Amino acid sequence: MHADADRTDPLHRSLSQREFDVLVRLEQYLDKEIAWDLSLSYDGVRYRVRSIFAKLGARGRLDAVHRRRRLRNPAASRGHVGDAPGAI
């Protein structure tokens, strides 16, 4: 199981283990690299990427990565430190 794979995380519960493994690699790797790293076929990776997009309601790779980040850290989606009114 991947270090990020916490089964109590709602994101991880909605994805299969393989989908989650692909998702954590989407930001840094091309599909062919993900296939090699996970010992999957290229078509197997593409199938899982489409499934991830559907389950997360994502429109693309970056959107899926951003949704993963927001779901893992909901406080981060509320704004950054210093974004409060009157912040310098």
* Whole-number pLDDT of residue 10: 64
Q: Rounded distance, CA 55 to CA 14, Å?
A: 7
Predicted TM-score (pTM) of the model is 0.71
Q: Please name the amino acid found at residue 7.
A: R
Buried b / exposed e across 62-81, counting CB within 10 Å, b at 16+?
Answer: eebbbbbeeeeeeeeeeeee
Higher pLDDT: 68 or 77? It is 68
- Tokens, residue 42: 């290229």
pLDDT (average), residues 56-76: 85
Domains with residue ranges and CATH for the chain: 10-73 (1.10.10.10)
The predicted-structure confidence for 6-59, as pLDDT tens digits, reads as follows 555 666 678 999 999 999 999 999 999 999 999 999 999 999 999 999 999 999
Q: Rounded distance, CA 25 to CA 28, Å?
A: 6
* Whole-number pLDDT of residue 82: 45
